[in-house]
Amino acid sequence: MNILIITAHPSSKGDTHTIAKTYADAKRAKGDTVELVDLYSPQYKVDLFAFENIREFPISPIQKKFHEQMTWAHEVVFVHPVWWSSVPAVMKNWIDLTIWPRVAYKYTPTGAVEKLWLGKSAKVFVTCGGPAWHYYVPFVLPLRNFWQIAVLWFCGIDLVDFKVCGNLDVYKDEKRTKHLEKFMKKIKESAE
């Protein structure tokens, strides 16, 4: 299976990278092919999506690469910290550039949406400073719906796992380390 992992954390010490690596290692050990995309790496530096006329928006080599990576992937895994109850701006920019008309979805002549990435699956693993339950209980904070309905459903991708590691700005020292270790166990289980 081809697995694409997209991360958005500015610090190399961010727990996001540990989660992504834990998942990647577990999947590689099973014989899957994994590609990791660190959206903060200079290789993926791209302007913020802007246009005067969207129909004349020129597709850059980086945007094309994002499309190719998604076409290649059977499973896509998003790993990010919660920033203002949502994704970091760099990941939102990736969404704007990648969930692209005629690549991820298209409109039929009757105005219906044709999902072009049917058959792919997705997982979302996030970290946050406060409690995690806000993201699991329906109608409290919209992060899960944002991923599952607004983004992935629109292009036919099934969200099959959503995990939140909370309290990372509250727990300190050994308590934080143990808490993260427990979460990594769940990440490894998800890879099995």
Ligand X SMILES: Cc1cc2nc3c(=O)[nH]c(=O)nc-3n(C[C@H](O)[C@H](O)[C@H](O)COP(=O)(O)O)c2cc1C
- What are the structure tokens assigned to 84, written together? 């203002």
The residue (of 115 and 134) whose beta carbon lies closer to ligand X is 134
Q: Which of 128, 152, 155, 191 binds ligand X (CB under 6 A)?
A: 128
Q: Which of 65, 130, 153, 188 binds ligand X (CB under 6 A)?
A: 130
Question: Distance (Å, rounded) from C-alpha 98 to C-alpha 120?
Answer: 15
SS (H, E, C) 96-146: HHHCCECCCEEECCCCCEEECCCCCEEEEEEECCCCCHHHHCCCCCCHHHH
Q: Which of 3, 8, 16, 155 binds ligand X (CB under 6 A)?
A: 16
φ/ψ (deg, to 5) at 35: -120, 130
The interface region with ligand X, picked from 12-20, 21-29, 33-41, 183-191 by CB under 6 A, is 12-20
The interface region with ligand X, picked from 37-45, 64-72, 113-121, 125-133 by CB under 6 A, is 125-133
Report the interface residues with ligand X, using CB under 6 A: 9, 14-16, 81-85, 127-130, 168-169
